[in-house]
Amino acid sequence: MTSDFEKRLAEETLPPVIRHHFSQSLFPDHMPSNRLTEFQKESLREVVTRAYENLPFYRQKMTQAGVKPQVINSLSDLAKMPFTTKNELRQNPWALLACDKKDISVIHVSTGTTGGQPIYTIETWKEYYLNTCINYPRLQPIEQDDLCFVALPYEMSAAGLDFHTRFLVGYQAAVMAVGKGGAYSTPEKTIKLIRDLKPTVVVTSPSYAITLAEAADEASFDLTSLRLKKIWLAGEGCSPAFRKRVEIIWGTTVNFVYGATECGLIGIECDAHNGYHIAQGHVLVEIVDPKTEKVLEPGEIGEIVITCLLRFDTPLIRYRTQDLGCLDPQPCPCGVPLERLHLRGRLSDQIVLKGTAYSPVYLEDFLMQLPEVGNWYTFVVKTGENEHLKIRTELAAGVKPTPELAEKLAVKMGSAINIPCEFELVSKLPRLAQKAVRVVYE
């Protein structure tokens, strides 16, 4: 947190719950857990009260559910509150606005990965500032002398701007808005800038990390010579085996950040690479059975449901992300006490073959362990009588495509994942500026 943040705390311009619990030397990943729980409880009560008092959207939902803000006496009482769904927010930009329109500072729109009408996310300056200034320096040790390249989309999506302001305002580092495939942002130009300016931290998506590596290769530039402190990845899921490839190519550790346009920062990976530490200063996470809507125990896989703790002007309560995951109650070897969350893909992304659902990330992990396979692939789900998984893939540099190799890969992959597989070896798959398309149906 910055001295500016301290000043604002002193000026009492921030909500009392924030002034009470945070200070320059006290971040959520340093806080004793009882103190953090106390903050979460107080903040939750305030968010729910503001939602009830100022938002017809939530008052109506709470009335229908027969609850009032007073039912919140502990964090587990959150389960008594109604859910908020994506469909309720689509085409309904002002639904969560619990303050005057003149106080709005930032508007984001969802990337539309799950289809349907857009979801607009609105933040006031206070919310935007808090989201940016409350940080996790043990998990994300960004220093003032770091130069961070943000190679994520800045237009329409919140992804680029979110990292940008967090690193710039929250950590007071230097930031370059490199972008990802925008009007001026080509992989070739990005590599030129990387070469000239030598960033210490790069933020991008898994597939774009590979696109940039290919551009570096074309320019005969060795990315490992940069000795980057870290690559932060966001925006797409990725398997441990794919991450390993990115780490080798770039010569640094690669950690993920999990977030969503509608609810902001949710989790940050530590170097143990064993799930996300939940950004417990920002959100409460529940895991809910998508069918029965009951809250599940740690270890049980269900839908990730988010309640935002820093959104007092645009409350978001029990938001159903349609992402799947489970909580991990085991302490992490890194020593950060924040709870951990494991992601298990998206509800809508699951590949269903012969009645069983598979996460593409789970399948990718096996695929990326095959050394002959290149970094670009598509899972083609073949439906109909001969239901099976066709894997359209490039090969690693120097590997020749032969029918024997296709057969060998099909046998290896098929026995690893227990689904009949077919390999189509192609010389080049399209590189997209948008999120990589990993699954198609034919």
Residues that bind Zn ion (CB under 5 A): 270, 272, 332, 334, 336
Q: Are 172 and 165 within 8 A, CB to CB? A: no
Which of 438, 428, 426 has its CA nearest to residue 242? 438
Minimum distance, C-beta of residue 336 to Zn ion, in the bound complex (Å): 5
* One-letter amino acid of 203: V
Minimum distance, C-beta of residue 142 to Zn ion, in the bound complex (Å): 17
- From CA 32, how far away is CA 372, in angstroms rounded? 48
Minimum distance, C-beta of residue 216 to Zn ion, in the bound complex (Å): 30
Q: Are 421 and 389 within 8 A, CB to CB? A: yes
Scan for tokens 């296709």, then name that residue. 406
Q: Are 316 and 263 within 8 A, CB to CB? A: yes
Residue number, 208 or 232, with CB nearest to Zn ion? 232
**E strand or H helix that includes residue 266:** strand 264-269
Minimum distance, C-beta of residue 272 to Zn ion, in the bound complex (Å): 4
Minimum distance, C-beta of residue 359 to Zn ion, in the bound complex (Å): 22
- From CA 93, how far away is CA 36, in angstroms rounded? 32
Residue number, 203 or 270, with CB nearest to Zn ion? 270
Residue number, 339 or 364, with CB nearest to Zn ion? 339
Residue number, 108 or 243, with CB nearest to Zn ion? 243
Minimum distance, C-beta of residue 275 to Zn ion, in the bound complex (Å): 8
Residue number, 126 or 277, with CB nearest to Zn ion? 277
Query: What angle do the packed helices 240-250 and 206-218 form, to 10 degrees?
Result: 30
Residue 308 is given by DSSP the state E
Strand partners, 439: 379
Residue 167 is given by DSSP the state I
Minimum distance, C-beta of residue 269 to Zn ion, in the bound complex (Å): 8
Residue number, 178 or 334, with CB nearest to Zn ion? 334
Residue number, 241 or 332, with CB nearest to Zn ion? 332
DSSP H helices, 327-392, are: 360-367
Q: Are 288 and 296 within 8 A, CB to CB? A: yes
